[in-house]
Structure 1
Amino acid sequence: MTVPPAVPSPAPAAQAPWNVLSIVGFVLSLIGFNVVAVILGFIGLSQVKKSGERGRGFALAAVIIGLLSIVVFVIVMIVAVVIAASNTAVTGY
């Protein structure tokens, strides 16, 4: 009985590079630069769609985290202004 010759395994396919703007946008969204993170996230999404690079998840996360942080900040500021305006002891009236 003869043993068939070993079939060489195919070379691993080269993976697409990471989109740098997506990663930077994600990191900035975690640090707190939310407006910049949202902008970079949208640019990263556009680039990933056109070029086929990896990083769509990072871009989406940058947009989502950035927008949620902005919304939370606006709500907190509105609540703080309403509380400050309703507190008459501070204004002396």
Structure 2
Amino acid sequence: MSEQYPPASSQPGGAPQYSGGPQYGGTPNGPVPGRTLGIVGLILAFLLSPVGLVLSIVAMVQSRKAGAKNGFALAGIIIGIIGTIIIIVSIIAIAALAGAAGEAFNEVCGQLGSGVHEQDGITFTCP
């Protein structure tokens, strides 16, 4: 048995060109789909972590559909996750501290009664 090759067609200059070969998403040195979005996602992951995380995920999906790797998108996802976790923990801590400060204020006002009071250089205005 002999192997069958697609028919050759000639181009100007006499070089044969084969048609019907495997089709790839681009040349090895061509643009990677989602790469620019991955870079933007990585930068935003440092500044606005949740937004950078979402953009990096979209860039990764675009790159994977094209069969390409996207290190920028991966880095943006990792940094975005870490940054988002830090933001969430910070919000919870601030809320807990604000609640504790409110309770302390109510306790002081309960002891002092309503009106304006000064204690240790701090002025309390209790309802």
Same fold (TM over 0.5): yes
- Show structure 2 runs of 5+ residues with no match: 1-26, 111-127
Match of 1:37 among 47, 52, 58: 52
Q: State the shift of 1:84 in Å.
A: 1.7
* RMSD, aligned CA: 2.1
The equivalent position to 1:77 in structure 2, one of 91, 102, 105, is 91
SS in 2 for 1:16: coil
Normalized per residue, the structure richer in strand is 2
Task: Check whether the contact 1:16–1:53 (CA below 8 A) recurs between aligned residues.
Answer: no
2:44 counterpart (28, 38, 49): 28
Could you state the TM-score of these two structures normalised by the residue count of structure 1?
0.69
Higher relative contact order (CA 8 A, sep 6+): 1
Deviation of residue 53 (structure 1)? 4.3
The answer as to whether partners of 1:25 and 1:41 remain within 8 angstroms in 2 is yes
Structure 1 residue 46 displacement after superposition: 1.0
Cα distance, 1:16 vs. partner? 3.3
For this pair of structures, how many residues does the alignment match?
79
Please report the TM-score for the alignment, with normalisation by the length of structure 2. 0.53
The structure that has the greater radius of gyration is 2
- Structure 1 runs (4+) greater than 3 angstroms displaced: 88-93
Match of 1:60 among 71, 74, 83: 74
| Secondary structure, aligned partner of 1:17 | coil
1:2-45 CA deviation, whole Å, 9 max, x = no partner?
Answer: xxxxxxxxxxx851324111111111112x12222111111111
Distance 2:105 2:82 in 1: 32
Show the counterpart of 1:15: 29
Q: Which runs of 5+ in 1 are unaligned?
A: 1-12
2:23 corresponds to:
none
Matches within 5 A, 1:40-51: 40-51=55-66
- Which protein is richer in helix relative to its size? 1
Structure 1 contact 21–44 (Cα < 8 Å) conserved: yes
CA distance in 2, matches of 1:24, 1:53: 18
